[in-house]
A and B are shown apart, each in its own frame.
Chain A
């Protein structure tokens, strides 16, 4: 167990190192990215430029610059933005992270529960109108772009029907911290959760149904039926339990991607100052310290999510347990 943890830690460090070097080199190879000119502002004199270059260490060799940046990002945590003078990037990421985490965790709970319900119901009634209806709904969910759906929902709940009894509880756009006001936190996030989840409910529900229907042609499902078990027991304890393995691996990928900033569109539409928005801002300003900080943050989550999926695998599938 300790060995496995250590190995995982070593992998994490290696992944972070590789990604940071790559981001660093790509940045300095990008034309027009020279940070000196940006910091110095328009029409700066060559003297000012030279001063800034020296002050920020841009005249040092790249490996030294890399090392200094990593130290101030991970050790002293005082790395400052190239664009907004003196703005420290680490606290900025830490301010954005709870917003994204709240959004993605909530959406994940919604989509996992709803897609399991949808997949099992469609399987139990396969071939019926309910099954077909659910699958078409899923396809519609997949086809609707999240920014469009979000805007439409905003239009309805914030403006057109905001005064009706149905949507009068909907607060204005923005984020309320959980620690400050849990009820407000829930109210402000429940619509973004559902909006973000709809796409994934469609995908996961359809994938789960396909897996479950395939499971019914497996011998062990026939055995379970031959044992005289109830239909729901066959479906849940034998079918769903074995089909969850694909579901979980898919979930690990999507979840990590979203936590790492992939929920950008949802964040923008609902006015949430999350990591996705921060990353977008950093990229459009070509602000290397902020890019570095957000990329490192999302890499940590991708590695963490993968570790979580591996643990779930072991819990779900005894065959993986024995393979070591």
Chain B
């Protein structure tokens, strides 16, 4: 794996809890991202997926937070990188778009001003030069009449246009990695499809890799080359999206997929749901974190499960057979 753009190894994020204890939000997370690849990170809320994104950006500003392990970006270690070096990467090499484009843009500046600002923070470009690029970018993102749109304030644009402006801003310095944290959750379904389509085209038009964070299995199936299923801060399963959807190995991934309504065949009278709640990071059980909710849990699950390799999938479950089970 020489050609990977980004690689996390044993990434652990711990935040200070009450009475001096450290609560591990994300534990021993490893994954890699090749150039122009789209990797999906799926998990429920609280599974640590947004925390992972913020850790890559160096934006966890909780006092006393501890990040251990390693994150290599183009061969440069991000864990423990100084604020100044990190700031040079942010926005230029690694850019991020957020869930709600309404609140993620500063309400008192025009979107053109905000995109110009990012360009001029990283490149010595004249005001007019930056604005010309801003208008080009907005046009490429499918914003109609980009020249006028640049002079509008966030509240004057629709949710879809705001998210397009947000993506234009993220792409303004040609980043090699784009982190998209639930980019479509706040949008309605038709706009959602357009934004996903836009994200898929980025790797051809801009050569960017995308780390797509979502809780929506549909979004993953539609968009991602590879998928990482996160459960309570731990990897449950990772591998090519097609393989995971065809034969999920981890009981959690299986249950997640079983809770999607089928398009063909008999319509089930009730959709499957996973009993119980994910454990809070402070009360996570030892061993496999999914154990309390797993229908196949047994004594062996009290030990930390090994990563079982099956084809191109990695499954964190003792029950995973090295060969796909033909269902």
Residues of A within 8 A of B (CB): 127, 216, 218-220, 222-230, 233, 237-238, 241-242, 316-319, 322
Asked, given contacts A219-B100, A319-B153, A322-B155, whether A226 binds B95 with beta carbons under 8 Å apart, the answer is yes
A229 to B113, CA, bound (A): 14
Cα-based distance from A241 to B117 in the complex (angstroms): 15
Given the complex, which residues of A lie within 8 Å of B88, measured CB to CB?
A: 228
| Complex alpha-carbon distance, A219 and B96, angstroms | 12
**Which chain B residue lies CB-closest to A223?**
B104
List residues of chain A with CB within 8 A of the CB of B96: 223, 226
Chain A residue numbers with a CB within 8 Å of B118 are 227-229
Chain B interfacial positions (CB closer than 8 Å to A): 57, 59, 61, 63, 87-92, 95-96, 98-100, 103-110, 117-118, 121-122, 153, 155-156, 166, 169
A242-B108, A317-B108, A319-B153 known; A226+B103 contact, CB < 8 A: no
Contact check, A228 vs B98: say whether CB atoms are below 8 A apart: no
List chain A residues, Cβ under 8 A from B63: 127
Beyond A319-B153, A319-B155, A322-B155, whether A227 also contacts B107 by CB under 8 A is no
* CB nearest neighbor in A for B175: A228
Is A220 within 8 A of B155, CB to CB? no
A218 to B100, CA, bound (A): 11
Instruction: Tell me the bound Cα distance from A226 to B106 in angstroms.
Output: 13
- Rounded to whole angstroms, the CA-CA distance of A319 and B154 in the bound complex is 9
Pair B91/A226 contact, Cβ less than 8 Å? yes
Known interface pairs A228-B92, A317-B107; A222-B59 also in contact (CB < 8 Å): yes
- In the docked arrangement, what's the CA distance between A150 and B149, Å? 55
Please indicate the chain B residues that have their CB under 8 angstroms from the CB of A318 in the complex: 107-108, 110, 153, 155-156
State A226–B122 Cα separation when bound (angstroms): 12
Tell me how far the C-beta of A113 lies from the nearest C-beta in chain B, rounded to whole angstroms: 21
Q: Identify the closest chain B residue to A226 (Cβ).
A: B96
Instruction: Write out the residue numbers on chain A whose beta carbons fall within 8 Å of the beta carbon of B107.
Output: 220, 242, 317-319
Is B59 in contact with A226, judged by CB distance below 8 angstroms? yes
In angstroms, Cα B92 to Cα A63, docked, is: 74
Which residues on the B side are within 8 Å of A241 (C-beta)? 106, 108-109
Give B97 Cβ to nearest chain A Cβ, in Å: 9
CB proximity of A73 to chain B, nearest CB, Å? 43
B148 to chain A, nearest CB (A): 15
Residue of B nearest to A230 (CB): B87
CB distance from B169 to the nearest CB of A (A): 7
10 more A-B residue pairs beyond the given contacts A223-B96, A322-B153, with a C-beta to C-beta distance below 8 A: A222-B104, A227-B91, A228-B87, A228-B91, A228-B122, A229-B118, A237-B117, A241-B108, A318-B110, A322-B155
Q: How far is the CA of A222 from the CA of B62 in the complex (A)?
A: 13
Closest chain B CB from A223 CB (angstroms):
5
- Whole-angstrom distance between the alpha carbons of A147 and B308 in the complex? 78
- How many angstroms from the CA of A219 to the CA of B99 in the assembled complex? 9
Shortest Cβ distance from A11 into chain B, in angstroms? 27
Bound-state Cα–Cα, A220 to B99, Å: 11
User: Which 6 pairs, one residue from A and one from B, show the smallest C-beta to C-beta distance?
Assistant: A228-B91, A228-B90, A219-B103, A318-B153, A227-B91, A219-B104
A220 to B111, CA, bound (A): 12
Q: By the criterion CB–CB under 8 Å, are A228 and B121 in contact? A: yes
A319 to B92, CA, bound (A): 30
* A contact residues around B59 at 8 Å (CB): 222, 225-226
A223 pairs with B106, CB closer than 8 A: yes
Q: What A residues does B153 contact at CB under 8 A?
A: 318-319, 322
Please list 17 pairs of residues, one from A and one from B, whose beta carbons are closer than 8 Å in the complex, sorted by A's number. A219-B99, A219-B100, A220-B103, A222-B59, A223-B104, A225-B59, A226-B96, A227-B117, A228-B88, A230-B87, A238-B109, A241-B106, A316-B108, A317-B107, A317-B108, A319-B107, A322-B155
**B121 contact set on A, CB distance < 8 A:** 227-230, 233
- Chain B residues near A238 (CB-CB < 8 A): 106, 109
Q: Which residues of A contact B57 (CB under 8 A)?
A: 226
A224 surroundings in chain B (CB, below 8 A): 106
Asked if A226 and B108 sit within 8 Å, CB to CB, the answer is no
- Report the bound CA distance from A148 to B100 in whole Å: 52
Chain B residues with CB under 8 A of A222? 59, 98, 104
The residue of chain B having its C-beta at the shortest distance from the C-beta of A317 within the complex is: B108
**What A residues does B156 contact at CB under 8 A?**
318, 322
Residues of chain A lying within 8 A (CB to CB) of residue B91? 226-229
Contacts of B108 in A (CB 8 A): 241-242, 316-318
Contacting residues, chain B, for A218 (C-beta < 8 A): 103
Min Cβ gap B103→A in Å is 4
List of B residues within 8 angstroms of A226 by Cβ: 57, 59, 90-91, 95-96
**Alpha-carbon separation in the docked complex, A229 to B115 (Å):** 12
Q: How far is the CB of A145 from chain B (nearest CB, A)?
A: 37
Taking CB atoms, residues of chain A closer than 8 Å to B90 are 225-228
Cβ contacts under 8 Å, A229 to chain B: 87, 91, 117-118, 121
CB of A211 to closest CB in B, whole Å: 14
Question: What is the CA–CA distance of A219 and B182 in the complex, to the nearest angstrom?
Answer: 13
User: Are B155 and A228 neighbours in the complex by a CB distance under 8 Å?
Assistant: no
Distance, CA A50 to CA B221, complexed state (A): 99
Task: Say how far A88's CB is from chain B's closest CB, in angstroms.
Answer: 49
Considering only CB atoms, which chain B residue lies closest to A323 in the complex? Answer: B155
Taking a contact as CB atoms under 8 Å apart, the answer to whether B104 and A227 are in contact is no
Q: Shortest distance in angstroms between B123's beta carbon and chain A's nearest beta carbon?
A: 11
Q: Which among A223, A228, A322 is the interface contact of B105 at CB below 8 angstroms?
A: A223
Q: How far is the CB of A243 from chain B (nearest CB, A)?
A: 10
**How many angstroms from the CA of A224 to the CA of B122 in the assembled complex?**
13
Question: In the complex, what's the smallest C-beta–C-beta distance from B82 to chain A, in angstroms?
Answer: 13
Complex contact B105–A220 (CB within 8 A): yes
CB distance from A163 to the nearest CB of B (A): 51
Which A residue's beta carbon lies closest to that of B57? A226
